Chain A
Amino acid sequence: MSVTPQNASRPDNREPARFTTALLDWHPWLPPLEESELTEVHYDGLVDRARAKSPYFMLLARDPQVLGARTRSDRDIFYNTDGGLPRRERELAATAVSRFNGCIYCASVHARFSERQGGSSEALAVLLATGSLPVDATEAWLLVAEVARQISETPVGFSDVHVRVLRQAGFNDAEILDLINASSFFNWANRLMLSLGYPTLPVEKQD
């Protein structure tokens, strides 16, 4: 049995009890690979060699080819700035999906990313605290967060009405596709993060 008892019982009790933009740690419930076990196939899967320091990516590296395809998908959705939705809105969608699915770790990372790309820190803080953007958020932001949520329902709630409303608000089809891609991708990411380990607050934030 490799699910370690200290992980299973979480005696440190530093698991965050609310959504936050704090820099969290994440701990796997299964043993990640050791750096000494990595071959070129694994580095190819990690894409970025610095990810060998991340327990999350080192756990996913147990299936390196699948990790590689996942990472390249992630990068094209969130970092390809050839047209489409501004990055702060793609990160807003990631945050809204993570908030809706309940991934405290993912929401913290992507709220910070959206802020760094020029997203409103006040609006993001309200989204994290309440699950909804403030009513005075921009129309574009309200729509992005609402559509991200509809895409994340099971069964999926996204419909032609959303396409019509997005187009009326000035979104073009490349932007709508980026919104679908970013929101769908976080349904993948949230489930891995939520089911393979757990987050903790950094030690200095302990109360």
Chain B
Amino acid sequence: MTEGFSFESDPPQDLIDSVVGIGAGSWLDTLRRGRSVLRDNAQQSAALLLHPERDEGFSRTERLAVASFVAGLHGEQDIYRLYLNLLERSGDGDALPAAIRQFVRDGRTRGPYGAYPQGTLSTEDLNGLVFDVSAAEIGTRLSAALKHAHLLVYHPRDASAGALEALQETGWSETAIVTLSQLVSFLTFQVRIIHGLTVLRHAGPAVGQGLPESTS
């Protein structure tokens, strides 16, 4: 089902419906359309962040590499496969998707963790993996982005001005840092929506709240 998704398909496809397997007219489709502005803008966010018309110094291939990494870190297999598949089709060869798969295997852990400003909350500080992404195969610029993505996914309260400086030192402009931050943060939203809707799809509609889903 996910192999067929493209941002360029005509008529346009909804990425979340495609990954979760929500058929037109099904109970979940009706439920989602009760928040149609969100449905449209979740799709628009994905298109703007992953398939922009102008890349603004942050290429589509880099964006798909970050997206594959973030989805993989969450262990959400369907969206991980979709982004890896789009990355493979973006035409940069097999080395980058292979490197991402390895980073996902090495970088996966449980979150959130991290440290608070020193004081009362320090008793809640939790240590966790600080993941260093090797630049050997992917270059310093993308490795810095993936390292930042790991920080945001698992231990966002460890974020600092220094983390942004590290991105600037590898060539990320201020505007590209904002877009990268939006991309990673958006993806942590999108994978949770996909997860939640998938749980609902398997649960089926509540008794008395509509017809059972047709086989879609």
A75 at the interface (CB under 8 A from B): yes
- A154 and B164 form a contact (CB under 8 A): no
- B75 and A190 form a contact (CB under 8 A): no
B147 to chain A, nearest CB (A): 13
B212 to chain A, nearest CB (A): 13
- The interface centre, meaning the residue of B76, B178, B190 with most chain A CB atoms within 10 A of its CB, is B178
B127 at the interface (CB under 8 A from A): no
- A69 and B161 form a contact (CB under 8 A): no
Q: Which residues of B contact A19 (CB under 8 A)?
A: 121
CA distance A18 to B116 in the complex (A): 9
B143 to chain A, nearest CB (A): 18
A192 at the interface (CB under 8 A from B): yes
- A160 and B203 form a contact (CB under 8 A): yes
Return the CB mask of B1-45 against A: 1 if under 8 Å, else 0: 000000000000000000000000001000110111110111011
A98 to chain B, nearest CB (A): 11
- B42 and A73 form a contact (CB under 8 A): yes
Which of A55-63, A114-122, A136-144 makes up part of the contact surface? Answer: A55-63
- A103 and B49 form a contact (CB under 8 A): no
CA distance A75 to B189 in the complex (A): 15
Return the CB mask of A158-194 against B: 1 if under 8 Å, else 0: 1110111001000011101110110111011111101
Chain B residue total in the interface (Cβ 8 A) = 70
In chain A, positions 52-78 with a C-beta closer than 8 Å to chain B are 59-60, 62-63, 65-67, 69-70, 72-73, 75-77
Chain A residue total in the interface (Cβ 8 A) = 69
Using known A-B contacts A3-B165, A196-B181, determine if residue A153 contacts B111 with beta carbons closer than 8 Å: yes
Q: Which residues of B contact A156 (CB under 8 A)?
A: 74, 76, 191-192, 195-196
- B44 and A173 form a contact (CB under 8 A): no
A40 at the interface (CB under 8 A from B): no
Q: Which residues of A contact B203 (CB under 8 A)?
A: 160, 163-164
- B195 and A66 form a contact (CB under 8 A): no
Q: At the interface, is chain B mostly helix, strand, loop or mixed? A: helix
CA distance A163 to B204 in the complex (A): 10
- A180 and B197 form a contact (CB under 8 A): yes
Q: Which residues of A contact B121 (CB under 8 A)?
A: 17-19
Using known A-B contacts A84-B34, A102-B112, A194-B159, determine if residue A187 contacts B74 with beta carbons closer than 8 Å: no
- A101 and B156 form a contact (CB under 8 A): yes
CA distance A67 to B49 in the complex (A): 11
- The interface centre, meaning the residue of B34, B73, B114, B197 with most chain A CB atoms within 10 A of its CB, is B34
Q: Which residues of A contact B156 (CB under 8 A)?
A: 101-103, 190-191, 194-195
CA distance A15 to B200 in the complex (A): 40
A113 at the interface (CB under 8 A from B): no
Q: Which residues of B contact A183 (CB under 8 A)?
A: 192
Q: Which residues of A contact B119 (CB under 8 A)?
A: 17-18
CA distance A153 to B89 in the complex (A): 31
* Contact sample, A vs B, 8 pairs, CB 8 Å cutoff: A7-B161, A17-B116, A29-B161, A62-B175, A72-B38, A154-B154, A160-B203, A188-B185
Q: Could you list which residues of chain A lie within 8 angstroms of chain B, going by C-beta atoms?
A: 1-3, 7-8, 15-19, 29-31, 59-60, 62-63, 65-67, 69-70, 72-73, 75-77, 80, 82-84, 100-103, 131, 151-156, 158-160, 162-164, 167, 172-174, 176-178, 180-181, 183-185, 187-192, 194-196
A-B complex: 6 closest residue pairs judged by Cβ atoms: A17-B119, A102-B157, A180-B196, A184-B192, A195-B159, A76-B37
